[in-house]
Structure 1
Amino acid sequence: MNVRRLIPATALAGTVALGAAALTACSGPADAAGGKDGKLDVTASFYPMQFLAEQIGKDHVKVDTLTKPGVEPHDLEITPKQTAQLGEADVVLYLKNLQPAVDKAVAQSGVKNIVDAATLTKLEVHSAAGHEGHDHAAEGEDHSHDHDHGHDHGGSGEDPHVWLDPTKYAEIAKGVGAALEKADPDHAADYKKNTEDLLTKLTALDTEFKDGLKNTASKTFITTHSAFGYLAERYGLDQEGISGVDPESEPSPARMKELQAVAKKDNVSTVFFETLASDKTAKTLARDTGLKTDVLDPLEGMTDKSQGADYFEVMRSNLKNLQKALGTK
């Protein structure tokens, strides 16, 4: 039922992946806690990985992130200084195929404790249009799904936006917790407890979404950034993405016409845009379809414009905005 824009993945030979069951990428305790302050130096690729490290590591870790607040993570370029710092980390947390520059830097870093979140849960492939029966080829549309927003990740088509599904994010959290335990065994008990606490919170968030989206007037939402496929699939919704265009550019006339029909048929009230990109596309579509606009945050980074201070607050804001747009009964 749900949908997502195809997001190709680029295979990078030489990258060390950490499996969920066998944490073979982790080196032994001798490499752990190498910081001068005795803390485990963790480098996270972008906010969702940073948040996990902070929540699970707490006082035992020092967390740096490669993607600074306000930077669109897909377009990140790694500086030589960041590459050097990456090589000094005790643990690196990243999500392969989301940020090509990070993939390359990680592969060259020589760090032994590397956690690839993409190996800790199952990635899926989806299209940008959420309704079966849309024959885009027959309509003469080009839905090759080359995401102009920096999502050109190669050929596998797997969607990396797993953190927007609390259940999948919990699976990643388990793997991160296990990696920190192995990298810093002296504090393993604390990492285990913190992981369990985080899993409890994510389970509660999942319940809130299930209950909050159970009875709605519509199940379809339109978004400029097709990042919400996992969320849509988990909670029985249809995501309609404006495909083949950058969030800041105009949608194609053919796609506009199709979305106008979808909006009318499925009682859509709102076009969503995100915090790290312009709302130009959303406003254009909304103006031409008589719809409202609102924010649906893909949580790829935090800024002073974010509708909350952390992952949980922003996800709950997303839930409220979806409830309002879908007409919660």
Structure 2
Amino acid sequence: MRRRLLPALLVSALALAGCGDQAGPAGTTEDGKFEIVTAFYPLQFLSERIGGDVVSVTNLTKPGAEPHDLELTPRQVGDVADAGLAVYLKGFQPAVDEAIDLEAKDKGFDAASVVPLLPAGGADDHGHEHEEAEGGEDPHVWLDPVRLVTIGEKLAERLGQLDPAHAAGYTERAQALSTELTALNTEFADGLKTCDRRELVTSHTAFAYLAARYDLHQVGITGISPEAEPSPQRLAAVAREARETGTTTIYFETLVSPAVAETIAREVGAKTAVLDPLEGLVDSAGDYFTVMRQNLAALETGLGCKQ
């Protein structure tokens, strides 16, 4: 990932923050709602569901945009500075990390700090090394509904500390969301329990948490970064493994070109299908649950799962 340096933006951002017409205490809107800034869609989803109608949520990543290399405008840096809470996932978006470190360090909620993370890169589930192994930790934790329950609970606790007048409501809504996420986890566990294949061949390795939770074996054409270009050797290795395991579907994601997945699919005579890593919401009519259930249907079909 490219690092986005912010100092040139900060003077403009602080000027915007200082000349706003915001009323009421810092971190609240004119009508008294608690202001939350979120880094990308899954954290927006959590904040809106747990915050309810007593919060105002701003997402720094626009719908349908690829979030990995987000660049912040001066006004967005000002939004971070003005917010009552900035919800992010450290290590996923360098520009957001830097803005929070400089402008909202005491008001940041790092989702990566409240649940255990898996290592990034290195090898797929069969021990095959990726040439672009990045090290560090895999940020795609929201694709595990069980871990997302914990993040939601911790977010509700933090909101209750910052906005004690509405703490009971945050806790109640987090519990309701936990019930829904637990039911979703059961749907995935039941739907993927008995399948003809358990190899999950994806355009990049965004699905380690989902694979680990439901006993699938992720085989990524590229590593954590969707912008990485696989070498001919890596393409050949994935194609060979796809043939050996009888893979019939190669998955690509919504915000990245399907060209690499299509190349492997042609090579092995497989189909392609969408598996959405939910980094950004493409369909404004849907939400986290809609997309995750679409993912489950795609997996059940592509892996030959039986009810």
TM-score (norm 2): 0.87
Q: 1:184 to 1:168 in 2, by over 3 A?
A: same
Q: Which has the higher contact order (CA 8 A, sep 6+)?
A: 1
Which amino acid in structure 1 is aligned with residue 28 of structure 2? G
Helix, strand or coil at the partner of 2:72:
coil
Structure 1 residue aligned with 2:15:
none
Partner residue in 1 for 2:304: 327
Contact 2:121 2:132 in 1 (8 A): no
Structure holding more helix per residue = 2
Q: Which runs of 5+ in 2 are unaligned?
A: 4-23
Does 1:119 pair with 2:108?
no
Q: 1:59: which partner in 2?
A: 53
Q: What's the CA shift string for 1:164-188, capped at 9, x where partnerless?
A: 0000111111111111111111111
Contact 2:65 2:255 survives alignment (8 Å): yes
Judge conservation of contact 2:37–2:86 (CA < 8 Å) in 1. Answer: yes
Which stretch shifts more, 61-70 or 242-251?
A: 242-251
Relative to structure 1, the CA distance from residue 321 to residue 116 in structure 2 (aligned partners, 3 Å threshold; closer, same or farther) is same
Give the counterpart letter for 1:59 in structure 2.
D
CA-CA distance at 1:247 after TM superposition: 4.8
Q: 2:145 aligns with which of 148, 160, 166?
A: 166
Figure out how many residues of one structure are paired with residues of the other and give that number. 285
Unpaired segments of 5 or more residues in structure 1?
1-6, 10-29, 137-141, 147-155
The residue aligned with 1:193 is 172
- Cα deviation for residue 225 of structure 1 reads 2.0
CA contact (8 A) 1:271 1:285 kept: yes
Task: Read off the aligned partner of 2:63 and give its amino acid letter.
Answer: P
Say if 2:89 is the partner of 1:95: yes
Normalised by the length of structure 1, the TM-score is: 0.81
CA distance in 1, matches of 2:277, 2:198: 19
Output the CA distance in 2 between the equivalents of 1:88 and 1:51: 20
- Say if 1:111 and 1:131 are closer, same or farther in 2 by CA, change over 3 A: closer
Helix, strand or coil at the partner of 1:132: coil
The share of aligned pairs that are identical, in percent, is 47
Does residue 36 in structure 1 map to residue 23 in structure 2? no
Q: Distance in 1 between matches of 2:224 and 2:175?
A: 41
Shift of 1:248: 6.7
**C-alpha displacement at 1:113, in angstroms?**
2.4
Report what 1:217 is aligned to.
196
Counterpart CA distance in 2 for 1:34 and 1:211 is 43
Aligned to 2:210: 231
- Structure 1: which amino acid aligns with 2:254? T
- The Cα RMSD (Å) is 2.2
Whole-Å separation in 2 of the counterparts to 1:115 and 1:65: 14
